Amino acid sequence: MEIRNIAIIAHVDHGKTTLVDQLLRQSGAFRENQVVAERAMDRNDLERERGITILAKCTSVVWKNTRINIIDTPGHADFGGEVERILNMVDGAIVLVDAAEGALPQTKFVLTKALARGIKPIVVVNKVDRQDARPDEVHNEVFDLFAALGASDEQLDFPMLFASGRQGWADVELDGPKKDLAPLYDLVLSHVNPPALNKDAPFAMVASILEADPFLGRVLTGRIEQGRAKLNMPVRVLRADGTVVETGRLTKLLSFRGLDRVVIEEAEAGDIIAVAGLSDATIPETIASPEVTAALPAIPVDPPTLAMTFRLNDGPLGGREGKKVTSRQIRDRLFKEVEGNVAIRVSESPESEAFEVAGRGELQLGVLIEQMRREGFELTIGRPRVLTRQNEETGEREEPFEEVLVDVDEAFSGVVVEKMSIRKGQMQDMRPSGGGKVRLTFLIPSRGLIGYHGEFLTDTRGTGIMNRLFAGYQPWAGTIEGRSKGSLISSEDGAAVQYALWYLQERGQLFVDPGEKVYVGMILGEHSRGSDLEINPIKEKKLTNIRAAGKDDAMLLTPPRRMSLEQAIAYIEDDELVEVTPSAIRIRKRYLDPNERKRMERKGDSAA
């Protein structure tokens, strides 16, 4: 049976996973009466809740006696480590573009990688059934993007289809019969070359995806680059420099059939398989026959740009809500994450019982924290900070910059431009995008975007769309002002009381409800002024003999402001931490004792 290996790449929410659902359904991978969840490829709880793909996944369909291995890739640049490895496994790509939104930054991010690999993409303009669809304009935009990214003449001559993934059809013409996805299957067979690899050479493959299986142990997925893999064959694992990591046997060979992985006896060059039986092999090492001495080339991964400090939860409520609360458990979990996630780096922090975790962005690190929280961990997280570097030629300090694409109603464009300029953003382009909307392009330091997304949604009444893409390192842009308002800090331990909160809410916006546990140094709200203020949230009403009918009933509290994990991490300042447990997200001062806090402030002022 012939093989085709393709990746589906696109911006977030342009319909990749929905299209894969339909490809599986129409190829007969599901029974007619089989109940399958929508977006079947997004199996992870966080993926379902957030509506995004976080982990790359492999599936396969059979069409006209050809097996098509399909890899569904993440669209967020934060998970770019997944995308880069995947492109090493495929010979073709379906570039999916929304018929209304057009080519957005993450499309550009993944496409840059694909074109550099020499892949000849198939372009599918999806969601043409949208009311605001503009398929012909989007086609031209995609061509311009290919040209701007330095595509070859062969790559510029890309085939294109119009489609609706939700309705399950694709066609060469907009006014075609719109029956099914057969035109897309046929185009994959005719346009994507079968893998041209040596089946008779000694076996070798690069590990591209790593996962832990409770029964099989470490499972590594990749494409066989040469030779044949056989069950129980002896292998060794090589690093890029040729060092042997370990020797072992392939105790399990698994191939992808629809949504399932099935056990096979043998696979040959070009096929995408998963192997088990190795205890130390990781990404992107080479798994090969014992006679192979040189590692296969692997795609270098862009370095992390953002770091956070993960600490032990040493607050007064620490250890009460989680099952995994020691620094050793946190350390083991973080280093386990590094084994399967090449875009994350973990190192020991100079602080005791703390670890520096660096990644691609707030979303990626936020997902890791949320996963750990659900696994029963308790942590305190420091403010995100960008990773700078020294320019070797000029000796200048450089920081990561991002290209930001903003779609807003014309009425809100002024406030967006103003806020971006305060955060050192430089406007590169401004053009109307139809329907009373404007598309703005900015170049801005990554640190200028920390904590801005929530403010952006408020400024644009929830109608603005902001997309970002790592644009490289540039000279340090100078000081960016932080939060303008101070904090309301608890001066007592106990449970918050309605009477006290009613009097305190005029001081600022509260984050807690009556009855919630509070402690000294915990941040209970945002002060209406620029300074911090210590407050007593557990002060009870003094009892008297005089009854005032209905007076207590009038104590109505404004609902507190509740922050998600990402919002809390983006909100804090350098002297604050986010306390994360399985049942709560709290914000606190780094130094809980007020005297120690003042001493540290004086120390910081004198150092400055």
Instruction: Give the residue ranges of the annotated binding site.
Output: 13-18, 126-129
Nearest to 577 by CA among 419, 351, 376: 351
Residue with tokens 């000081």: 479
Cis peptide upstream of residue 121 (ω within 30 degrees of 0): no
How far apart CA 445 and CA 422 sit, in angstroms, is 11
In sequence order, the 6+-apart residues with CB closer than 8 A to the CB of 321 are: 378, 581, 582, 583, 584
Q: Count the neighbouring beta carbons within 10 Å of the beta carbon of residue 44.
A: 16
Rounded Cα gap, residues 100 and 115, in angstroms: 24
**Which tokens go with 399?**
């920081």
Do residues 92 and 122 lie in contact, with contact meaning Cβ atoms separated by under 8 Å?
Answer: yes
Q: Cα dist. 444→82, 204, 307, 462, 567 in Å?
A: 25, 43, 18, 22, 20
Binding-site members for GTP are 13-18, 126-129
Distance CA 14, CA 9 (A): 10
If you search the block for the tokens 């997925």, which residue do you land on?
A: 221
**Which run of H or of E encompasses 511?**
none
Burial class of residue 152 in the structure, from the number of CB atoms within 10 Å of its CB (0-12 exposed, 13-18 middle, 19+ buried):
exposed
DSSP code at position 296:
P
Q: Coil, strand, or helix at residue 553? A: helix
Half-sphere exposure of 358 (CA within 13 A, CB side): 15
Q: Which residues pair with 268 in a beta bridge?
A: 228
Query: What is the largest distance, in Å, between two alpha-carbon atoms of the chain?
Result: 97
Task: Write the DSSP string, 126-139.
Answer: E-TTSTT--HHHHH
Residue 355, Cα to own-chain centre: how many angstroms? Answer: 20
* Cβ(470)–Cβ(106) below 8 Å: no
CA–CA separation, 512 and 524 (whole Å): 6
